[in-house]
């Protein structure tokens, strides 16, 4: 009887240890996704002089419209996306679009193709 009880306990220990390991791995994956995901709401205000800043949501563009990071972060490697302003400055030397032109070309161009908002007030709202 004692041997049978020890075998039972060992079997439960292995099953419980397996469950703990699986749950731990799952938790690490979830936490990693949360930490690695981009800030959801971004306020684009670097270039605003006469209009309201633009509020941009990664969640709606990524999940709802199925737009991947490279669509906007076009010159970056995976998981190393940079802000647009790192390449596109307020004024440029003519080789790259300035920041305002880059936003308008990228965002409005995509909105025109995909029937998104294109008027100033649709994006620049209070």
Cβ within 8 Å of residue 70, ≥6 positions away = 76, 78
Neighbours of 84 (CB within 10 A): 20
pLDDT at residue 34, as a whole number: 44
Q: The tokens of 108 are what?
A: 């409005």
Q: What is the domain partition of the chain in residue ranges?
A: 1-36, 39-123
Which has the higher per-residue pLDDT, 86 or 93?
Answer: 86
Cβ within 8 Å of residue 96, ≥6 positions away = 87, 88, 89, 102
What is the average pLDDT value for the chain, to the nearest integer? 75
pLDDT at residue 36, as a whole number: 42
Region of residue 66 (phi > 0: left; psi between -120 and 50: alpha; otherwise: beta): left
The Cα–Cα gap between 61 and 121 comes to 19
Mean pLDDT score, 16-24: 66
Cα 28 to Cα 34, 80, 95: the distances in Å are 10, 21, 44
Mean pLDDT score, 10-16: 64
CATH number of 39-123: 3.90.10.10
What is residue 68's three-state secondary structure?
coil
pLDDT at residue 13, as a whole number: 63
* pLDDT single digits (tens) 28-79: 565 555 444 556 788 888 777 788 888 888 877 877 777 777 788 877 776 6
């Amino acid at each position: 009887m004692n041997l049978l009880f020890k075998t039972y306990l060992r079997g439960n220990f292995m099953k419980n240890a397996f469950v703990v390991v699986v749950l731990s791995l799952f938790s690490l994956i979830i936490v990693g996704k949360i930490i690695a995901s981009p800030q959801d709401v971004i306020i684009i205000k670097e270039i605003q002089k006469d209009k309201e800043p633009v509020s941009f949501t990664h969640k709606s563009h990524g999940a709802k419209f199925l737009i991947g990071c490279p669509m906007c972060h076009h010159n970056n490697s995976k998981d190393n996306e940079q802000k647009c302003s790192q390449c596109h400055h307020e004024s440029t030397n003519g080789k790259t679009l300035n920041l305002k032109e880059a936003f308008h070309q990228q965002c409005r161009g995509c909105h025109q193709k995909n029937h998104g908002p294109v008027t100033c007030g649709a994006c620049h709202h209070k």
